[in-house]
Amino acid sequence: MPDLVRAALARLDRVEPVLCAFHEVFRSFAPVDPSLPLAGLPIAVKRGERRSHRESLMALGCVPIGLTTTPDGSTPWQTWGRNSRGVTRNPWNLDRTPGGSSAGSAVAVASGVVPLATGVDGAGSIRIPAAWCGVFGLKTTSAERAAVGVFTRDPDLLAAYLGTSEVGSPTAVWSPDLGFASVDAEQAEIAWQAAAKLRPRPVDLVLPDPAEDWFANRCGPNPALDELFESTDLLLTPATPGPPHGHDGPGTRINTSLTWAFNLSGHPAISIPAGFDSCGLPVGLQAVARHGREADLVAAARLISGAVGVAPFAN
């Protein structure tokens, strides 16, 4: 068993009784080729995701140590981390949700169990828990509404996952609300302060609320976004309209209001740790790039945050 895997399992055994991030834990592992680029790197895998995604990471030398928690089917699609094993808790504040539906994967990374975890993002299911758990959460380009991606605390692992060595300084524009969303002033201000490192210019972008199209699964080009990306590399917004709520649910707030338009359009997007609100809870900055330009998202992640530490309630 690789040393990093052994350390990950020890960490998991310590924090799992409180955080409930794993649906299943693996205890036996096949040998790993030490010449692979990520040889022996322990990862967590979102339960129910595409097997091919896990296998692509294993081909790089990653070692899955378990399947992470997701909704058990008794909660609505706006999940807040409940599952058959108990409530998955946010390691920054145990009374708050980590977000969903890739709740366990975000918690596994934020709590220091693994350096990388997989997710699937159908409306914000990677970016929202990444924002609320204070880690990077990447959704890749996709022709379908749901896209695969990963969580990590290290932008260099994003580059390794994507197989890119490109270094750049992308241009950016800023929209606090996409022209329709209701966003808390504190969320917008913290995200804007983080975005300032990219020197974005404010843009008067007005998108239609994508709720109706999302429920009808109408995916395809977005003319407003296509026009926007003719003159900039990145669109920056807050990742979420508000902070993580309690385990009793989101109420009437639509947590996906800033994320799900880009599932319909297929653009790659990332949540980048932007700082903390007045209650000490993480805030995320969302960056959206042209199709196939995940390298620009990695560049933004490196310029804005650097490496991210482990959440305090996991210590």
Tokens representing 124?
């914000």
139 is catalytic: no
In a domain, 167, yes or no: no
Residues 200 and 60 in one domain: no
Q: Say what the pLDDT of residue 76 is.
A: 55
In this structure, the answer to whether residues 147 and 275 fall within a common structural domain is no
Residue among 105, 125, 265, 271 flagged as catalytic: 125
Within-domain flag for 214: yes
User: At which of 140, 162, 184 does a domain end?
Assistant: 162
- 85: containing domain: 3-162
Tell me which H or E stretch contains 41. Answer: none
My answer on whether 31 and 144 are in the same domain is yes
pLDDT at 261: 97
In contact, 219 and 145? CB cutoff 8 Å = yes
Three-class secondary structure of residue 196 per DSSP? helix
275 within a domain of the structure (yes/no): yes
Cα separation values, 278 from 15, 53, 87, 186, 188, Å: 26, 37, 25, 8, 13
The runs of H, that is alpha helices, within the chain are: 3-19, 51-58, 103-110, 127-133, 155-162, 185-195, 211-215, 223-228, 261-265, 294-304
Here the CATH number for the domain that contains residue 97 is: 3.90.1300.10
Domain boundary among 127, 162, 197: 162
Shared-domain flag, residues 11 and 150: yes
- pTM listed for this prediction: 0.96
List 46, 102, 105, 111, catalytic entry: 46
The verdict on whether 35 is a catalytic residue reads no
Dist CA 204 CA 174 (whole Å): 9
Residues 207 and 66 in one domain: no
Residue 14 within a domain: yes
Asked if residue 280 belongs to a domain, the reply is: yes
Dihedral pair phi/psi, residue 194, rounded to 5°: -70, -40
Number of residues written out for the chain: 315
> Of 101, 102, 257, 305, which is the active-site residue?
101
Interior CA angle at 219 toward 216 and 223, to 5°?
120
Whether 68 contacts 105, CB under 8 Å: yes
| Residue 74 included in any domain | yes
155 and 35 both lie in a single domain: yes
Domain count, the chain: 2
Are 202 and 103 contained in the same domain? no
74 as an active site residue: the answer is no
Side chain identity at 3, as an amino acid letter? D
Burial, 212: exposed, middle or buried (Cβ in 10 Å; 0-12, 13-18, 19+)? Answer: exposed
Specify the pLDDT at position 12: 96
Distances (CA, A) of 38 to 62, 161, 172, 297: 6, 9, 31, 21
Whether 268 and 307 map to the same domain: the answer is yes
Q: What is the structure's pLDDT at 258?
A: 98
| Tokens 């560049």 -> residue | 299
One domain for residues 200 and 280: yes
For the chain, 315 residues long, give each residue's pLDDT as a single digit of tens.
789 999 999 999 999 999 999 999 999 998 999 999 999 999 999 998 989 999 999 999 999 999 999 887 666 555 556 677 788 999 999 999 999 889 999 999 999 999 999 999 999 999 999 999 999 999 999 999 999 999 999 999 999 999 998 888 999 999 999 999 999 999 999 999 999 999 999 999 999 999 999 899 899 999 999 999 999 999 999 999 999 999 888 888 899 999 999 999 999 999 999 999 999 999 999 999 999 999 999 999 999 987 788 998 765
State which of 101, 127, 162 marks the end of a domain: 162
**Nearest CA among 101, 71, 106, 98 for reference residue 86:** 71
Half-sphere exposure in the Cβ direction for 304 (13 Å, CA) = 33
Provide the pLDDT for residue 44. Answer: 98
Q: Are residues 150 and 13 in the same domain?
A: yes
